[in-house]
Amino acid sequence: MTWPNTLLSYRRWLILCWHIVLLAIAYYVSFLLRFDFLVGRQMHLLFLETLPLLLLIKIPILALSGLLRGWWRYAGLADLQDIIKASAASSVVVFVVTQVFFPQSGFPRSVLLIDLLLTICTLGGIRLSVRIYQETSGKHVPRKNTLIVGAGQAGGKIAWELKSNSQLDLNPIGYVDDDETKQNLKIHGVRVLGKIADAPRLVERHQARCLLIAMPSVNGDTLRSIVEQCGKCNVEMKILPSIGDRINGAAAVSKVRSVRIEDLLGRRAVSLDLATIRQRLTNKVLLITGAGGSIGSELARQLAEFHPRKLVLFERAENELHKIDIELHTEHPELQYVPVVGDILDVQTLREVIAEYRPQSIFHAAAYKHVPMMERNCFQAIVNNVFGTYNVALVANQYDVEDFLMISSDKAVNPTNIMGVTKRVAELVILGLQTAHTRFVSVRFGNVLGSSGSVLPLFEQQLARGGPLTVTHPEARRYFMTIPEAVQLVLQASTMGKGGEIFVLDMGTPVLIAELAKNLIRLSGLDPERSVRIVYTGLRPGEKLFEELKLDGEGIKPTSHPKIRVLDGGPVDFSKVTRWLEELSALVETKSVFGLVHKLQEIVPEYTPSQELLTLCQFDRHDFFSAYRRAQLDLLHTTGLESPAVPNSPHAA
């Protein structure tokens, strides 16, 4: 055993002896100061007579206060408060005892007052010295000069933590803050150097390599302004997330992360009626279709937090299902969940799964969603998004599922592409399926950041290759929200539906795609004007310059949640739905683009086909009518509630 380990084994005795020595020295110095360092023989004898009594009083009080244990290297304000309390209490006891046992000794009362002050300074000072030594000695890691934006409570806490821990790689050189009263002040030894607008100049002057934004309540406009001003400084940008995004309210270096695009949206944390959601979901059997997708997998994560009795994950992509399977197994080992490899076009598998597990609620997130891809594969979009939705919804109704919620899209409003119009038809289909058994509702929202195939991952890939970043049009705008926020609001909306509603999520303000690209470049420490080019490629087939969230004829109303509005979907005759599906099935059989577009415009009058589809229509227009008539003759019967498969469709069971 080495000598440091030997000392540690006697640590408590060493601390006790050290306190006895310090207290004795402080007591003797009190006599020296009281008598101007001319202590007579009588006072020396009084010191020696009262010292054992003083130690017998002070040591137990210090022990009861917890000051004879713990590591001095971690001493802080709480320890100083304990020292003051224990010293004051012991001084009072010593005074009382000396008056009782030494009434005629002429004991100088001022000695006890001086001793009180010296004891606090001595015990506090030795702890502070040990802490300073620990923080300034040892192995240092290379540290980056860091400018902290925000000199409030959070910024001060971060600066203190960075200064007190030499192992952290950030060195706080100053704050910037717009509060006039804080200018030139020092907070935890770090000076406020200027206002936020001065950040680029200060970064250059002090050769800062990191900008740390410690403003938990910063809005998106301010954050975008900071990123835009400092984006040309080739500086790393980090942020302390808002309190709503943290597990608890504490500001700490461990919670600091790089600034992300979603931070620039400035969307506030979602407030949920957790009690109502928990009542609806806890101890229930829940089923998610498309459980491996961006929305489906996030639904699985958030639903797991409400402790369902069983969670059924229905997904046809084995790899994606495997990913969420592993994640749930790791993060929620207590969760009862069932991963099912299955296709919503496979009616028999749907029936078997729903019959076996009997879910009370179904969250239907399975869909083809990529606009240009679906323009080139319009028949597959119809089969999956329309017939697939019909299959799941009808089987849900057959087995008395309580709630059926479909994830829709803002592209269903005045659609200009196949993906959008199929989502609108799917909305109409489930509006026509309203029954006493199952409540059918839809939730409509726009783009989510970070979903597979969305613009942000594409930009990140292009940026990793050094650019250029491709944007369709300088004026193209989209609504954006984060995947967790969208799913939180979906869960809230699921508690509101009585059947027949289309819920619309508050997407905030549309964002310029070009500005999104520029901000991503700035967050990478590059200059969008010089370092990485942005190339405009033109709108792709079926794309709009901007998206909408409601039709002109739809009446939109507020709900109990400020971020959720509701549209009255209106009744849809089920016989009309079955006729649409029969005709769409025949058109899929004939592979006639012209007939398909014609029928979709009849079902959704506000649908405007893309030029690419109109061009395809010209090629098969002459052959359409005869083929369509032949297909109609092949129809055997009209689909009713008892059968979820459209006759002669590619997905028929």
> Can you read off the two tokens belonging to residue 316?
């046809």
Cα 620 to Cα 624: distance, rounded to the nearest angstrom: 6
Give the distance from CA 245 to its chain's centroid. 5
* Contacts with 547 (C-beta within 8 Å, 6 or more apart), sequence order: 410, 411, 413, 446, 447, 477, 478, 479, 510
- Whether the CB-CB separation of 517 and 477 falls below 8 Å is answered with no
Alpha helices in 65-166 (DSSP H): 77-101, 109-136, 153-164
Q: Measured in whole angstroms, how far is the alpha carbon of residue 33 from the centre of its chain?
A: 61
Please state, in angstroms and rounded to a whole number, the distance separating the CA atoms of residues 597 and 602: 9
Structure tokens, 125: 């000072």
Find the catalytic residue in 157, 238, 284, 411: 411
**Of 461, 454, 502, which Cα lies nearest the Cα of 478?**
454
Residues 6+ apart with CB under 8 A from 652: 347, 645, 646
Are 199 and 223 spatial neighbours (Cβ–Cβ below 8 Å)? no
Place of tokens 């000072």: 125
**3-class SS string, 321-333:** HHHHHHHHHHHCC
Sheet holding 236-239, edge to edge: 186-187, 190-194, 170-176, 144-149, 210-213, 236-239, 257-258
Q: CA-to-CA distance for 427 and 501, rounded, in angstroms?
A: 10
Please name the residue that has the structure tokens 């016989």. Answer: 575
Burial class (CB in 10 A: 0-12, 13-18, 19+), 323: middle
DSSP tag of 299: H
DSSP bridge pairs for 211: 147, 237
Is 284 catalytic? The answer is no
- DSSP state at residue 311: E
Q: Please choose, from the candidates 442, 467, 280, 471, the residue with its C-alpha nearest in 3D space to the C-alpha of residue 361.
A: 280
CA–CA–CA angle 473, 479, 483 (5° rounding) = 125
With DSSP H G I counted as helix, E B as strand and the rest as coil, what are the percentages for the chain, rounded to 5? Answer: 50, 15, 35
The pairing of beta strand 447-449 with beta strand 469-471: unpaired
Which DSSP helix (H) or strand (E) runs through 149? strand 144-149
Three-class DSSP labels, 454-484: CHHHHHHHHHHCCCCEEECCCCCEECEEEHH
**C-alpha Rg value of the chain to the nearest Å:** 36
Residue that is written with structure tokens 């009083």 in the block = 57
Joined tokens for residue 337: 């969940």
Q: Is there a contact between 194 and 184 (Cβ–Cβ < 8 Å)?
A: no
| Crossing angle of helices 418-431 and 593-603, rounded to 10° | 50
Of 449, 505, 458, 453, nearest to 478 by C-alpha is 449
Q: Residues with catalytic annotation?
A: 411
